């Protein structure tokens, strides 16, 4: 007799702690929450292979999107601020790295904060601007919506607004060559303010009017450009972060890589009801729409069955394969506990699923009450 399928959705799931997990609108998935306003993060930790694993939080949105024009940048495994490598633009004419389709959360954002560690072999640029990071807008005419650059040892931020361009640039800044500096630029359309920070200290602030002109061309011609400069430079970049908020206060630069996700183990708990006591749950038929995070030990399960809806989970969490190898569980209620395991840098997503439920062997024939006449 074929088993019935019981759907697993998470509308009624208990999230512990709720602050670290998010439930999709339709209850079809649960995922680890990232830092709220961090929309882009590049560790620039190089590894061999065709993928680009240095994109962490943005990975989901950039995956499958080509990176182009990377001929003049390379991972430098000898010089880096954190991790295994940094991004180096070698001293040749040519472009840096281009993210063809940047995350939607930074397109048209009314506020942005961009920061990174940077190191320059030579701070002199011959009165020319070297772009460090910019958002390029090709329509209606080629220009940058915003650009953070250095010029002869000074840091500049240019916004292309509906009221024309506005450039904020330092003068008399003391940066050292071949030294790591933390650079941050931030602006807000709401407060019409723009600021530049060096090593956490405010070094420039100004105001601007209008809104930053941006566009989202479906052809993907509005990339995020990283060290895409026509000017030769030996420049290194590490730990690039973009927040879609205005961080206008002085701060202590990060002394370790940013971990966007919690490295604790939040849990999602869910109870399925067969509708009758001693139902048989066929654990070998437990499966999920996407099992990637189960297979790489990112999500583990604990199970409990009972007839009185009193979940008690004990023992070590199991892998999905271990759970499937268990004997069928006889109970009215099947309680599932999903444990999200992250290294702090990896998004985990639990998708909807289903489990086999054995139909009742027999259904009692309904007996009509006997009615006896009384005389």
Partner 1 sequence: MKELFIIAEQKNGKNFKSLIEPRPVCPDCPEAAFQGVPMSGPLKKIFIEASMTLQVSCGKCGKKLAEFPVTVAGE
The residues binding partner 1 (CB under 8 A) are 127-131, 134, 136, 142-144, 147, 149, 158, 164-174, 196, 203-206, 208, 225, 228-231
Of residues 149 and 294, the one with the C-beta less far from partner 1? 149
Of residues 146 and 333, the one with the C-beta less far from partner 1? 146
In the complex, what is the shortest distance from the CB of residue 253 to partner 1, in angstroms, rounded to a whole number?
19
Residue 320's contacts (CB-CB under 8 Å, 6 or more residues apart) are 286, 288, 291, 294, 295, 299, 301
Q: How far is CA 112 from CA 38, 54, 135, 360, in A?
A: 10, 21, 12, 59
In angstroms, rounded to a whole number, what is the distance separating the alpha carbons of residues 297 and 292?
Answer: 9
In the complex, what is the shortest distance from the CB of residue 196 to partner 1, in angstroms, rounded to a whole number?
7
Query: What is the SS3 assignment for 12-46?
Result: CCEEECHHHEEECCCCCEEEECCCCCEEEEECCCC
Of residues 23 and 175, the one with the C-beta less far from partner 1? 175
Query: Tokens in use for 164?
Result: 């024309």
Residue 160, Cβ density class (10 Å: 0-12 exposed, 13-18 middle, ≥19 buried) = buried
In the complex, what is the shortest distance from the CB of residue 255 to partner 1, in angstroms, rounded to a whole number?
25
In the complex, what is the shortest distance from the CB of residue 23 to partner 1, in angstroms, rounded to a whole number?
41
Is residue 72 within 8 A of residue 92, CB to CB? The reply is yes
In the complex, what is the shortest distance from the CB of residue 188 to partner 1, in angstroms, rounded to a whole number?
16
Of residues 107 and 330, the one with the C-beta less far from partner 1? 107
In angstroms, rounded to a whole number, what is the distance separating the alpha carbons of residues 372 and 375?
Answer: 10
What is the residue whose two structure tokens read 């940048």?
A: 73
Residue 212's contacts (CB-CB under 8 Å, 6 or more residues apart) are 110, 145, 146, 159, 160, 161, 187, 189
Instruction: Give the three-state DSSP class for 91.
Output: coil
In the complex, what is the shortest distance from the CB of residue 298 to partner 1, in angstroms, rounded to a whole number?
38
In angstroms, rounded to a whole number, what is the distance separating the alpha carbons of residues 375 and 367?
Answer: 24
- In 3D, which of 184, 151, 150, 147 has the Cα closest to residue 166? 147
Of residues 96 and 305, the one with the C-beta less far from partner 1? 96
In the complex, what is the shortest distance from the CB of residue 237 to partner 1, in angstroms, rounded to a whole number?
15
Of residues 164 and 359, the one with the C-beta less far from partner 1? 164
In the complex, what is the shortest distance from the CB of residue 20 to partner 1, in angstroms, rounded to a whole number?
39
- In 3D, which of 118, 255, 121 has the Cα closest to residue 180? 118
In angstroms, rounded to a whole number, what is the distance separating the alpha carbons of residues 269 and 225?
Answer: 42
In the complex, what is the shortest distance from the CB of residue 189 to partner 1, in angstroms, rounded to a whole number?
15
Of residues 6 and 213, the one with the C-beta less far from partner 1? 213
Of residues 53 and 164, the one with the C-beta less far from partner 1? 164
In the complex, what is the shortest distance from the CB of residue 261 to partner 1, in angstroms, rounded to a whole number?
33
Of residues 137 and 241, the one with the C-beta less far from partner 1? 137
Of residues 166 and 323, the one with the C-beta less far from partner 1? 166
Regarding beta strands 67-68 and 280-288, do their DSSP bridges make them parallel or antiparallel, or are they unpaired?
A: unpaired
């Amino acid at each position: 007799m074929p088993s019935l399928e019981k759907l697993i959705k998470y509308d009624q799931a208990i999230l512990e702690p709720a602050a670290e997990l998010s439930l999709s609108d339709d209850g079809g998935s649960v995922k680890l929450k990232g830092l709220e306003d961090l929309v882009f993060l590049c560790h620039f930790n190089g590894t061999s292979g065709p993928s680009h694993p240095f994109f962490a939080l943005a990975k989901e949105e950039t995956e499958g999107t080509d990176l182009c024009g990377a001929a003049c940048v390379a991972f430098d495994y000898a010089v880096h601020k954190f991790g295994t490598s940094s991004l180096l633009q070698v001293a040749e004419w040519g472009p840096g790295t281009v993210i063809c389709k940047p995350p939607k959360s930074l397109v048209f954002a009314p506020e942005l904060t961009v920061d990174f560690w940077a190191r320059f072999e030579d701070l002199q640029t011959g009165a020319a601007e070297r772009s460090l990071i910019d958002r390029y807008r090709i329509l209606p005419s080629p220009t940058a919506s915003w650009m953070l650059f250095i010029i002869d040892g000074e840091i500049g931020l240019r916004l292309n607004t509906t009221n024309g361009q506005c450039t904020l640039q330092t003068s008399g800044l003391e940066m050292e060559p071949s030294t790591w500096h933390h650079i941050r630029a931030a602006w807000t359309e709401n407060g019409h303010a723009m600021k530049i920070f060096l090593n956490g200290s405010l070094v420039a602030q100004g105001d601007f009017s209008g809104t930053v002109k941006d566009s989202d061309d479906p052809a993907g011609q509005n990339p995020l450009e990283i060290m895409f400069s026509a000017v030769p430079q030996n420049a290194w970049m590490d730990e690039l972060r973009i927040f879609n908020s205005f961080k206008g206060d002085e701060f202590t630069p990060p002394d370790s890589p940013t971990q966007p996700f919690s490295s604790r183990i939040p849990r999602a708990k869910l109870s399925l009801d067969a509708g009758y006591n001693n139902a048989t749950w066929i654990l070998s038929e437990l499966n999920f729409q996407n099992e990637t995070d189960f297979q790489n030990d990112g999500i583990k399960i604990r199970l409990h069955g009972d007839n009185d809806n009193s979940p008690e989970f004990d023992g070590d969490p199991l892998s999905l394969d271990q759970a499937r190898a268990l004997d069928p569980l006889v109970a009215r209620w099947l309680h599932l506990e999903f444990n999200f395991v992250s290294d702090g840098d990896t998004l985990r997503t639990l998708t909807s699923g289903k489990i086999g439920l054995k139909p009742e062997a027999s259904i009692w024939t309904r007996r009509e009450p006997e009615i006896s006449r009384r005389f």
